[in-house]
């Protein structure tokens, strides 16, 4: 499967301007792309200003659906959504037919206003796309290995790919680049880690450092720091299965339960 990761330079609280710029980037998207992944809150930046939230009928989700249908690809990324008088950081996975599934971010960043504004999600989400089992996670979730933990039952893994859509600042860049390697290795899965670049309205810098890693924690593609760009990599399910069969470490995993 050919994956495109979009390391976007998000302009805070400027939905229309961001979508217009993304339109120009996607005009040149490789025709054989099958999955496109955006950073966290890629239309607004990481904002807790609920004036910039959208409903499930909002323009950002409609834009994603229209692009998925037009390009005949799947698209993933998160948006600030208002629903039932609460706000969630919702990670969407939109299929080429415009249908979608989603995951609401569970772990809310304690050094921000997020825990005071956002209602945490309670459930994991694994979607099925083109024979791949894909787990959806968001930014700060990557620090919590028990939550991100793959499972192995009856010789089947819960997921083959973990997507981390992030808005991870440069002050903690070493943690970001270390944690996504660890998550790939320990879960014997591909990892797609997509972060933003640029400087936000609070003068916080974002390096990006987005990547796609294989099940051994090896980078298949790397982005340039501080550069808005789309990069590509093709992943192979047969290589993943072959490695899992030759090194069945999952059989020795500790049995854990999440309350």
What letter does residue 166 receive in the DSSP assignment?
A: -
Query: Given this model, what pLDDT does residue 255 score?
Result: 81
Can you tell me the mean pLDDT for 156-183? 98
Q: Alpha-carbon distance 109 to 88, whole Å?
A: 13
Query: Given this model, what pLDDT does residue 257 score?
Result: 60
- Residues 172-207: pLDDT tens digits? 999 999 999 999 999 999 999 999 999 999 999 999
For the chain, what's the residue count? Answer: 259
pLDDT band at 106 (very low <50, low <70, confident <90, very high): very high
40 catalytic residue (yes or no): yes
Q: Which of 34, 114, 139, 148 is catalytic?
A: 139
User: Which residue ranges form the domains of the chain, and what is each CATH number?
Assistant: 2-252 (3.60.110.10)
Cβ-proximal residues to 43 (8 Å cutoff; 6+ apart), any chain: 10, 15, 18, 19, 60, 63, 79
101 catalytic residue (yes or no): no
Can you tell me the mean pLDDT for 218-235? 97
Q: Alpha-carbon distance 124 to 228, whole Å?
A: 30
Q: What pTM did the predictor assign?
A: 0.97
Q: Which of 34, 65, 67, 105 is catalytic?
A: 105
Query: Given this model, what pLDDT does residue 247 score?
Result: 97
Give yes or no for residue 259 having a pLDDT over 80.
no
Please state, in angstroms and as integers, the Cα–Cα distance from residue 9 to each residue in 17, 25, 97, 118, 131, following that order.
Answer: 11, 12, 27, 23, 32
Q: Which of 40, 54, 114, 228 is catalytic?
A: 40
Residue 37: is it exposed, middle or buried by C-beta count within 10 angstroms (0-12/13-18/19+)? buried
Cβ-proximal residues to 236 (8 Å cutoff; 6+ apart), any chain: none
Cβ-proximal residues to 23 (8 Å cutoff; 6+ apart), any chain: none
27 catalytic residue (yes or no): no
């Amino acid at each position: 499967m050919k994956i495109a990761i979009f390391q976007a330079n998000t302009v805070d609280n400027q939905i229309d301007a961001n979508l217009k710029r993304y339109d120009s980037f996607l005009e040149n998207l490789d025709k054989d792309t099958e999955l496109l992944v955006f950073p966290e809150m890629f239309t607004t930046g990481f904002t807790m200003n609920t004036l910039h939230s959208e409903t499930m009928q909002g323009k950002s989700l409609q834009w994603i659906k229209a692009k998925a249908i037009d390009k005949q690809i799947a698209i993933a990324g998160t948006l600030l959504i208002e629903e039932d008088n609460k706000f969630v950081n919702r990670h969407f996975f939109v299929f080429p037919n415009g249908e979608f599934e989603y995951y609401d971010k569970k772990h809310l960043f304690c050094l921000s206003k997020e825990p005071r504004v956002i209602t945490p999600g309670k459930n994991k989400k694994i979607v099925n796309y083109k024979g791949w089992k894909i787990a959806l996670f968001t930014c700060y979730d990557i620090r919590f290995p028990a939550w991100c933990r793959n499972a192995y039952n009856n010789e089947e893994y819960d997921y083959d790919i973990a997507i981390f859509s992030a808005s991870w600042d440069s002050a903690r860049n070493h943690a970001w680049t270390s944690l996504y390697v660890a998550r790939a290795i320990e879960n014997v899965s591909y990892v797609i880690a997509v972060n933003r670049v640029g400087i936000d309205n609070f003068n916080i810098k974002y390096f990006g450092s987005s990547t796609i890693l294989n099940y051994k924690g090896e980078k298949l593609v790397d982005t340039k720091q501080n550069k808005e760009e789309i990069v590509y990599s093709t992943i192979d399910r047969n290589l993943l299965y072959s490695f899992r069969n030759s090194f069945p470490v999952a059989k020795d995993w500790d049995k854990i339960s999440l309350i």
